[in-house]
Structure 1
Amino acid sequence: MRDPLYQALADWIDAVLVAPLPDGIAAFHFNLYEGIEFELQLIGAPTYLADDDDWACDDIFMSDDPRLELPRSVVGEAWEMGLAAANDLLARYMSSDRAGAVRLRQSQAVSVGFVDGDLQLVWAAD
Structure 2
Amino acid sequence: MNTPLFADLAAWIDSVLSAPLPEGIAAFHFNLYDSSTTYDLELVGAPTYDPEDSDWACDDIFMSSSPRFEIASEAVGPDWEAGLQAISQMILRYLDAASAGASRLKAARAVSLGFVDGDLHLVWRAE
Structure 1 residue ranges without an equivalent (≥5): none
Match of 2:70 in 1: 69
For the residues of structure 1 that align with 2:38 and 2:95, how far apart are their CA atoms? 23
| CA distance in structure 1 between the partners assigned to 2:53 and 2:96 by the alignment | 25
TM-score, normalised to structure 1, is 0.97
Deviation at 1:76, TM superposition (A): 1.8
Gap runs ≥5 in structure 2: none
Aligned partner of 1:18: which letter? Answer: S
Kindly provide the amino acid, as one letter, of the partner of residue 103 in structure 2. Answer: V
TM-score by length of 2: 0.96
Contact 1:93 1:101 (8 Å CA) reproduced: yes
> What's 2:22 paired with?
22
Residue 78 of structure 1 corresponds to which residue in structure 2? 79
Does residue 54 in structure 1 map to residue 42 in structure 2? no
Take 1:42 and 1:27, find their aligned partners in 2: how far apart are those partners? Answer: 11
- 1:6-49 CA distance string (max 9 Å, x none): 10110000000001001110000000000031011000000000
Residue matched to 2:13 = 13
Q: 2: distance between equivalents of 1:57 and 1:83?
A: 19
Letter in 2 for 1:2: N
Between 65-74 and 7-16, the greater mean CA deviation after superposition = 65-74
Of stretches 80-89 and 23-32 in structure 1, the one that deviates more from structure 2 is: 80-89
Rounded to whole Å, the distance in 1 between the matches of 2:94 and 2:3 is: 11
Which residue identity is paired with 2:21? Answer: L
In the other structure, the counterpart of 2:99 is 98
SS of the equivalent of 2:74 reads helix
Corresponding pairs, count: 126
Alignment RMSD? 0.9
